[in-house]
Amino acid sequence: MNSREPIDYIQRTRDQYDVLGYPPYRWVQHDDEPPWEPLVKPLSECKVGLVASGGIYAEGQIAFHFKDDISLRLITDKVPKSALRISHFAYDHSDARRDPNVVFPRDALNDLADQGFIGSFSERAYTFMGGIYSSSKVRKLIAPELTRRLIADEVDLVILVPV
């Protein structure tokens, strides 16, 4: 395959689930639109949080396991880039291992804060392993817990990085 050809992510996801012995993947669809919340202050004054589903964890933390792992990892700004690790079944880790910013853009967000484009980047980021088959677990367990933590961190907006 030419590296410039588009990747058929839908078929790739189906193939990954087949290999793991999961039931056929069912895409989650919602008829209702998510609520839109406009910013109440300029972006240059906002504290920005990061939530990434690329299976990033810090050296010393337990790696994500491959079957419907719904656990979260906290990655603080004290964790050096060299200590970031990846455990995820649904994508090639090569580029992310060379530069974790591919799936965990912490450096870019710090640069935006340094430039004054955003007010600050939260010292706490959260990660999980995407590709969770149970959308109800994501909706009922992961999303509320992430919301609770982000509110406690007093972030104004969140960058969501799906994989």
pLDDT reading at 35 higher than 90: no
Phi, psi of 41 (to 5 degrees): -145, 165
Q: Please write down the long-range contacts of 16-23, taking CB distance under 8 Å and 24 or more positions apart.
A: 16/89, 16/90, 16/131, 17/133, 20/66, 20/67, 20/89, 22/133, 23/133
pLDDT reading at 34 higher than 80: no
Confidence at residue 27, expressed as pLDDT on a 0 to 100 scale = 67
| Selected residue with higher pLDDT from 16 and 59 | 59
Domain ranges of the chain: 39-161
- Give the span between the Cα atoms of 104 and 51, in whole angstroms: 8
Q: Integer distance in angstroms from the first to the last C-alpha of the chain?
A: 21
pLDDT reading at 1 higher than 60: no
Contact between 128 and 103 under an 8 Å Cβ cutoff? The reply is no
Q: How do residues 113-144 score in pLDDT, each as one tens digit?
A: 999 999 999 999 999 988 787 888 888 999 99
Q: Nearest Cα to 75, choosing from 127, 152, 111?
A: 127
Which segment of 10-19, 36-45, 52-61, 105-114 scores lowest on mean pLDDT? Answer: 10-19
